Chains A and B, each alone.
Chain A
Amino acid sequence: MSKFNSMLENKIMPIAGKMAGQRHLQALRDGIVLTMPLIIIGSVFLILSNLPIPGYNDFMAGIFGKEWAAKMAYPVGATFDIMALLACFGIAYRLAEKYGVDALSAGAISLAAFLLATPYKVSFLPSGAKEAILVDGGIPTALMGSKGLFVAMIVAILSTEIYRWFIQKDIVIKMPDGVPPAVGKSFAALIPGFTVIAFIWILRLLVEQTHFGSLHNIVGELLGKPLGVLGGSLGGTLVAELVIMLMWSCGLHGANIVGGIMAPIWYGAMDENRIAFANHEALPNIFTQQFFDIWINIGGSGATLALVVAMILKARSQQMKQLGKLGIGPALFNINEPIIFGLPMVMNPMMLIPFIITPLVTVVATYIAMSTGLVAKPAGIAVPWTMPPIISGYLATGGKLSGAVMQAINIGISVCIYYPFFRMWDKQKFAEENGIQSTVEEVPSDTQKDIV
């Protein structure tokens, strides 16, 4: 194995293995996924209320009345505004599942704990008044959405840890035989559930004595801000992208592994943009979940669509031609495992160079284009990552052509970076097929066995 490969194998694999096997990170990632379908549904309504077609506004107002846009926003709110609630339940559920304890009870308890951590105060602007007043007795929707995401994550993990500790130590109320299991389960949750609620309650009482006032404020200051800087800056993003690509280089699903850490940041940024977009204000963030799904991973991680197209149009070796045909269908929907394992990209020193460099270059290019205002920023619309390119760029920017153009430019960039490497690889395969002694260093086929 070459030096490069053994470096990957020895340095990256253990980190990847640890991160991927870490059950809290797994639960975070899997739990937040629960919000995705709803956010995509909400996005459809968000797009419909902002279609950039001349006369559309008047047309809709003619049918549904002047307030049509506000009505269209109902489902948008109902899906985006409960992101933290859903994530809290989802994370607790997935974590409890990994511990093999009753997931439903753990989810329910952490949901209550999350609400307990949240002050029921809503700032309310009476119609006609100039200054908002603080009203008691309402659940603040802002904190149930992306703004509450970090508290939801912490509470979900904390409460589930307490819950499973009690269950695993068997400190529970036991029902005699003959009591239905469902009833027994709810009694089993009593002692751990009580402890969780009491713990968060005391925590809240303590926090209320400080100048922070609420757990949400503490977490926002101490965790949200620094992480937001990391996820929102070009440097931090490039590091995250590099880690993702290095994991993929070992054949591991990098985005899925890093997702536990970055997803809350990128989803939070997405929601900030969504709110600004709905209010027709300037969009605050560039790096959102969609930035990567739509503009960077065109054809899958590593932007391999360009490579697949090159394989179809220019390959001389049978192997590359066949793989191109096999890979183009999924690639249009941003799925590229056939290429990653079939070419293969994995542990292939030659092809890994463009594989890692391309997304880093397109991150920088897209960032520059968006920060200078040449290209519209992602509007907080969650277009599914399987949406084919060009369409997806148009939709994710809320109907701006520049979003689609930027995708085309990124495909162009990836063609330029991939093409020379593709030619070398194809030449080598062609030579192998035709029995010509290749001058390029062979990648022995048994390296494939090593990585399993």
Chain B
Amino acid sequence: MTTASETAVAPPEPGLEPGPVTRKPSLRRALVPYWLLLPGILWLIVFFALPLVYQASTSVQTGSLEQGFKVTWHFQTYWDALTDYYPQFLKSLLYAGTATFLCLLLGYPLAYLIAFRAGRWRNLLLVLVIAPFFTSFLIRTLAWKTILADGGPVVDVLNTIGFLDVTSWLGMTEGNRVLATPLAVVTGLTYNFLPFMILPLYTSLERIDPRLHEAAGDLYARPSTVFRKVTFPLSMPGVVSGTLLTFIPASGDYVNAELLGSTDTRMVGNVIQSQFLRVLDYPTAAALSFILMAVVLIMVTVYIRRAGTEDLV
């Protein structure tokens, strides 16, 4: 930001703590960005980066609450944590993956509808997409207990159309109930993270020039071909950020599994939470948390590389 005209006297820079007055103005100008960055970045370093370091060191400690924990480079903890809790790990990835896929399946038509066919209803529909956030996330998750209640209308309908037979065969439900089954957990996860899928999808669909559709049609492409060859490839950035914004929070979530599931549907988040807050086995919990972070970061990095996008918003 250099401008042609500099005023002769440089008053202190606005909105930040001025450096020591002894410095030359030019040097002070060069330091402006650092003064702007300092407080916020320091906050992130101390309360985001440093905790990760502490967590890494905790994961290789041994000891107990009574004797205190010591760093003994005990990497065995990682192996034990994995062998003890790999079912919950796999369940996390499975449920989060399924929920992400369902979000894409359900969210795409709605994003498409808002982007291309909503006309003057567009703003209202967008507000409706974020409307769920207007009520506390936990209250809404509890509402699913009412919706999926045993013998309630929803379960009855699903029973009648044979849907529950299919899900039982898939191992997602047991008998004729939905609550406290994997299906309920996946339903909750899908519901809670659906807006995070729809919004980036909508943003990328909205950028598509509708004339491209017309052009494809003029070149005798069938609607399905237009979608396959034009719309979907162009919406890829939205698909990438939508799936990430859904999968990442879903993989670590333990609220849905706790409120809508049973002991058989525990995810890795539930294990970390109970190890940390109830069992107080910090090394195991830290190791699990670290593994989860590593898995997610590796997946995200590979995925972003493959898709070649960096703007996630």
Q: Are A and B genuine complex partners?
A: no
Residues of A that sit less than 8 Å from B by CB: none
Residues of B that sit less than 8 Å from A by CB: none
